[in-house]
Structure 1
Amino acid sequence: MTKPYPWYYRPLNWLLRGLAHLPLPLLYGMAEVIYFLLAHVLRYRQKVVLQNLRNSFPEKPETEIRQIQKTFYRHFAQMMVETLKLAVLPAAELKRRVWFSNPEVLERHFAQGRTVLGLSSHAGNWEWVLTSGAVWLSAHADGVYKPLSNPFFESFMHQLRTRTGAGLIPMRDTLRDMLQRRGETRVVSLLSDQAAGPEDRPYWTQFLNQDSGFYTSADRLAARFHCPVVYVSIRRLRRGYYQIILTELYDGDSPLPANEFPITEAFVRHLERDIRTFPADYLWTHRRWKHQRPASEVIRTQNPEPRA
């Protein structure tokens, strides 16, 4: 349950909900204004975006880097209005716009009454993935998330994300939730591309030509609760339409090696392939590489191709 927010946020709430009722074509017109402000006036995190792109794609010329940057800002602005539209978007319309191409990858585990971990990322429109999953899938869909510090935006985003029936699990409560609901038929979605700090005991590997630390929750939870794990690929087909492609990373039964993180490594390789294919659709404003790998850590140098 979200905390109540101060009364002076009510006009903002009315404004946002009023804007959400506008047709998507009008909202996309607003997105062009937002794009111009972000990219050319405010230059929102421009240095971070350019540094991330240059470090991730050292082989690309500067002209291509600048074009990816421009396309990213436009996509980012469109995603903002699409997220706002969740406040009123009918479930049937959401299902039409987000296509799960192979839901049977999850459904066969649901038929066995299992909990499945879905590893997603900040690609495409990640806010539409969980909400559409609650519409597409036969089992319940929960998402692990980090609550916002502002009480109004936490309440507003919570309502948007749960409106189609999905549930939310605060990150700090993940293990407790898994223990209390052990054996429940559902999918638990994890945004697994976030930067893990030193206190999180990250798994270090090469990701987009850079030392990168990743949370190891997927491997730990899968080993403890025997959960199958699925990679969730989010691909933008065109403005306002997305395709979800599911790839099984772990069957939930095979032994997992101790003190190794093959599920996380497989996730990284799949995500890297997707980003290289659709570079402008990733969240480049995020300071993904803000942590440095300790000198004592041994880093994996081989980057095998992900299995289909």
Structure 2
Amino acid sequence: MRPKLVVDYVVYLIVRLFICTVQATPLSVCAQVSSFLAWLANDVLKIRGKLVDSNLKHAFPDLSPSQRKKLARRNWYHLCLMVCEIAHAPRKLHDTNWHKHIKMKDIHIQIEQALGRRPVVVLLGHFGNFEVMGYCTGMLGFPTYTVARPLDNPFLHRWLEEFRSATGQIILPKQGSAPYIEQVLDQNGTLALLCDQNAGRKGCWVEFMNRPASYHKAISVFSMASGAPLVFLYMRRTGGPMQFEFGVEGIYDPATADEQKGVKEVTQWYNEMLERVVRRDPEQYWWVHNRWKDDRPAKKREKEKQRLAAERKEAAKLAQAA
């Protein structure tokens, strides 16, 4: 066995042992441990501290340093508890008791789309517990085809894929999945995509949380080419562990829209949906993620900055006039 595979397998065993320990621990205790780990990660070890603080400073310029620190600690609590919820999901969530853990909001919109004779593109972000949402969607009888990047560790990848597909969710690899996606849409299937992954300098740049961010153009193209409506879903924690609200934030249907949108306009639309849910529960977003990587030339960045500033100024004038 190659040295890397040995290391990967050892890491896999450690992770599985950790997950088994979490599964044997009551969720109430997991919440207490998550609170301690959040304090440890944020206040003591300061893991990705500069990045998180920078992200929060740009997104919420009115917050004081102490307020940003508290928000960052709550964010770490969410991330730690999210892992515990994923570990407990197969044992806690079933088709007979899901309603004790999940409240639905406007979900009839998604059901109508899923039962229709058209393809559907479901969008979600690194917000709330999106892994449990994928698990529950399949459990409720609405399996999706989800595009995800394979993990570098093959043993962990196989284990995570087993969890994701346990209730009918079908995972498509991020690379080389175009023919499969086309087939899914042609057969009126439901495609689920994380919409807030960095697309690099060649992506579609729109403003997200007061800064330019790059989005994959393919998401908009999928909808425009197939006529599939875009449905933005979220699953946010509403109280203690494993207590969620599963809702529809918005829908864009190219077949019924008053005005057809281009790639940039569609991208801007679902970006606004994501920003709305993040601003309602900011501690449940992945601020540890370097979402705003911008490696474009300085002139291009400055030009984009000026354009976005002009758009904000125009929007403010329109709001005052209204």
- The normalised TM-score by structure 1 is 0.86
Of the three residues 101, 108, 116, the one matched with 1:112 is 116
Instruction: State the partner residue of 2:320.
Output: none
- Please list, as runs of the form range in 1=range in 2, the aligned pairs for 1:259-298 lying within 5 A after superposition: 260-294=263-297, 295-296=299-300
Closer, same or farther: CA 181–231 of 1 in aligned 2, 3 Å:
closer
Distance 1:290 1:34 in 2: 27
| 3-state SS of paired residue (1:91) | coil
Partner of 2:247: 245
- 1:1-308 matches, cutoff 5 A: 8=10, 9-10=12-13, 12-92=15-95, 93-136=97-140, 138-198=141-201, 201-240=202-241, 241-254=243-256, 260-294=263-297, 295-296=299-300, 299=307, 301-302=310-311
| CA gap 1:266/1:44 in 2 versus in 1, 3 angstroms | same
- Measure, in 2, the Cα distance between the counterparts of 1:11 and 1:292: 36
8 Å CA contact 1:83–1:127 kept in 2: the answer is yes
Q: Does the C-alpha gap of structure 1 residues 94 and 291 become closer, same or farther in structure 2, counting only changes over 3 Å?
A: farther
Structure 1 residue ranges without an equivalent (≥5): none
Which stretch of structure 1 is more off in the superposition, 238-247 or 174-183? 174-183
Q: Is the 8 A contact 2:130 2:234 kept in 1?
A: no
The answer as to whether partners of 2:56 and 2:68 remain within 8 angstroms in 1 is yes
* Residues 106 and 116 in structure 1, CA contact (< 8 A), matched pair in contact too: no
Aligned equivalents of 1:76 and 1:194: distance in 2? 18
Q: Where in structure 2 are there 5+ consecutive unaligned residues?
A: 317-322
2: CA distance, partners of 1:95 / 1:153: 30
Indicate conservation of the 8 Å contact 1:139/1:186, yes or no.
no
**CA separation of 1:182 and 1:269: change in aligned 2, threshold 3 A:** closer
| Higher Rg | 2
Whether the aligned pair in 1 keeps the contact of 2:249 and 2:273 (CA below 8 Å) is: no
Provide the C-alpha distance between the structure 2 equivalents of 1:158 and 1:89, rounded to a whole number of angstroms. 19
SS in 1 for 2:144: strand
Distance 1:164 1:15, change over 3 A: same
Offset at 1:25?
Answer: 1.9
Normalising by structure 2, report the TM-score.
Answer: 0.82
More helix by share: 2
CA distance in 1, matches of 2:142, 2:78: 31
Query: Does 46-55 or 75-84 show the bigger shift?
Result: 75-84
- Decide which moves more: 24-33 or 65-74: 24-33
After superposition, the Cα gap between the structure-2 partners of 1:248 and 1:56, relative to the gap in structure 1 and judged at 3 Å, is closer
How many residue pairs match? The answer is: 298
> Match of 1:243, as an amino acid?
E
8 Å contact from structure 1 (residues 20, 87) kept in 2: no
Does the aligned pair in 1 maintain the 2:82–2:129 contact within 8 Å? yes
